[in-house]
């Protein structure tokens, strides 16, 4: 029997039917046939933020504010710099208990509620609370500090009602770019790191550090700041605990590490192409008994965020292009603290002296 031949009309009809079947499969949601839209390119974005050292709004600083009759007084000499950025970041080393009858003295701090307005006024949108004075007003004071900052729309990390909260990383979104933060301290209370509690993140807890950074990446964070309150007071170089935390943070995916606590500005390290500022020293503080404790350092970090390629999709959103957010430059701003409270920009000679102590010949770092 001769094979049956399809007419031209029949062949066209069969091809049409096959085409309709393929189209319906694609529209049915089959993962094999769906085609993702090409990622849309995004604009190049520049972001700047200032990072400063320890802010302590208690003890001598509180007395200086009272004498000036102005809670903004400690911030005003740096007003132009503080308000020139997209946001600012620092370590807050004085709890805000809400009980203004408790006057901070000695090594037990408590900030007056009237004195915290400068944090918001001068653009401090992120604060680390993990430090050795976090528990100075016990657990109620620690928790009330977080509530005051929440009411001021200031993001904070490093402490909480349990360790999960203390280690919860935070991020803010600036011009569409997510900038994340994770913070930890060498000590849970002011005892040199001996006692542990469930309320303050600790720098030796590497598993939690790694998990926090991984969580930020899963949330699509573009740039990660790890901060530590650690080191030996009144020393120029980091101890091994600082080095171990900083290196681990970068190994885990942090983009920069910024430290405080020693009350002196400490040296800077470049590790795997990322920068570690082991201690920025004091910022708003009352230690005028030595030149080194009256010197601080602020760093103005400029970030550049841009698409890697309009054809490479983001892992978190395939309709958007993957982005790269990197440090474009870091400006070093040496400071002198006066009137037991108030930082100002160092003059040229003072700046050279401060930068010389940390072996930094230039004010601008360009990776």
Asked whether residue 323 is domain-assigned, the answer is yes
Asked whether residue 40 is domain-assigned, the answer is no
Give the separation between CA 159 and CA 164, rounded to whole angstroms.
9
Total number of domains constituting the chain: 2
- Tell me how crowded residue 101 is: count the other CB atoms within 10 A of its CB: 7
Q: Which residues contact 188 (CB under 8 A, 6 or more apart)?
A: 132, 134, 135, 195, 196, 197, 199, 200, 202
Question: Where does residue 14 rank: exposed (0-12), middle (13-18), buried (19+ CB within 10 A)?
Answer: exposed
- Among 28, 5, 76, 24, smallest CA distance to 338 is for 76
Asked whether residue 298 is domain-assigned, the answer is yes
> Are 25 and 84 in a shared domain?
no
pTM, rounded to two decimals? 0.87
> Are 144 and 11 in a shared domain?
no
> Are 7 and 85 in a shared domain?
no
CA dihedral of residues 25, 30, 32, 35 (deg, nearest 10) = 80
> Are 138 and 249 in a shared domain?
yes
- CATH number of the domain encompassing residue 326: 3.60.21.10
Note the pLDDT of residue 323: 79
> Are 18 and 150 in a shared domain?
no
> Are 12 and 106 in a shared domain?
no
Q: How far is CA 141 from CA 100, 156, 233, in A?
A: 12, 15, 25
**What are the pLDDT tens digits along the chain (367 aa)?**
444 444 444 454 444 444 444 444 444 443 333 444 544 556 799 999 999 999 999 999 999 999 999 999 999 999 999 999 999 999 999 999 999 998 888 999 999 999 999 999 999 999 999 999 999 999 999 999 999 999 999 999 999 999 999 999 999 999 999 999 999 999 999 999 999 999 999 999 999 999 999 999 999 999 999 999 999 999 999 999 999 999 999 999 999 999 999 999 999 999 999 999 999 999 999 999 999 999 999 999 999 999 876 656 666 666 566 779 999 999 999 999 999 999 999 999 999 999 999 999 999 999 8
> Are 49 and 174 in a shared domain?
yes
Give the separation between CA 210 and CA 253, rounded to whole angstroms.
8
Domain that holds residue 2: 1-35
Three-class HEC string of 142-167:
HHHHHHHHHHCCCEEECECCCHHHHC
> Are 216 and 83 in a shared domain?
yes
Asked whether residue 186 is domain-assigned, the answer is yes
| Three-class SS state of 242 | helix
> Are 5 and 68 in a shared domain?
no
Note the pLDDT of residue 34: 44
- Among 61, 106, 70, smallest CA distance to 286 is for 61
> Are 79 and 163 in a shared domain?
yes
Q: Which residue has the tokens 């005892």?
A: 191
Asked whether residue 114 is domain-assigned, the answer is yes
> Are 287 and 267 in a shared domain?
yes
CA dihedral of residues 242, 245, 274, 307 (deg, nearest 10) = -150
| Three-class SS state of 196 | coil
Give the separation between CA 340 and CA 314, rounded to whole angstroms.
49
Note the pLDDT of residue 149: 98
> Are 135 and 23 in a shared domain?
no
Asked whether residue 348 is domain-assigned, the answer is yes
Asked whether residue 172 is domain-assigned, the answer is yes
Asked whether residue 212 is domain-assigned, the answer is yes
Is the distance from CB of 17 to CB of 296 less than 8 angstroms?
Answer: no
């Amino acid at each position: 029997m001769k094979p049956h031949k399809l007419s031209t009309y029949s062949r066209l009809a069969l091809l049409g039917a096959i085409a309709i079947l393929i189209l319906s499969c694609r529209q049915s949601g089959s993962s094999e046939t769906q085609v993702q839209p090409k990622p849309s390119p995004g604009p190049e974005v520049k972001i700047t933020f200032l990072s400063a050292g320890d802010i302590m709004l208690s003890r001598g600083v509180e007395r200086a504010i009272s004498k000036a009759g102005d809670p903004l007084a400690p911030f005003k000499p740096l007003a132009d710099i503080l308000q020139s950025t997209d946001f600012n970041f620092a370590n807050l080393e004085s709890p805000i208990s809400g009980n203004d009858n408790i006057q901070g003295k000695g090594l037990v701090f408590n900030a007056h509620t009237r004195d915290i307005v400068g944090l918001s006024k001068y653009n401090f949108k992120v604060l680390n609370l993990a430090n050795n004075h976090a528990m100075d007003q016990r657990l109620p004071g620690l928790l009330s500090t977080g509530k005051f900052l929440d009411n001021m729309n200031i993001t904070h990390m490093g402490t909480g009602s349990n360790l999960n909260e203390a280690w919860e990383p935070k991020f803010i979104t600036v011009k569409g770019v997510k900038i994340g933060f994770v913070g930890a301290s060498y000590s849970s209370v002011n005892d040199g790191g001996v006692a542990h509690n469930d309320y303050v993140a600790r720098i030796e807890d590497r598993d939690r550090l790694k998990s926090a950074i991984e969580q930020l990446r899963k949330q699509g964070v573009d740039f990660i700041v790890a901060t530590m309150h650690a080191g030996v007071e009144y020393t120029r170089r980091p101890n091994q605990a600082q080095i171990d935390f900083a290196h681990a943070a970068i190994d885990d995916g942090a983009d920069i590490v910024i430290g405080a606590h020693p009350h002196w500005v400490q040296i800077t390290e470049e590790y795997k192409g990322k920068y570690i500022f082991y201690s920025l020293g004091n910022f708003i503080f009352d230690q005028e008994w030595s030149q080194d404790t009256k010197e601080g350092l602020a760093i103005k970090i400029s970030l550049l965020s841009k698409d890697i390629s309009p054809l490479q999709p983001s892992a978190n959103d395939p309709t958007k292009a993957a982005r790269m957010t990197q440090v474009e430059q870091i400006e070093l701003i040496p400071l002198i603290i006066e009137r037991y409270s108030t930082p100002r920009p160092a003059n040229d000679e003072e700046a050279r002296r401060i930068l010389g102590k940390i072996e930094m010949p230039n004010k601008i770092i360009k990776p």
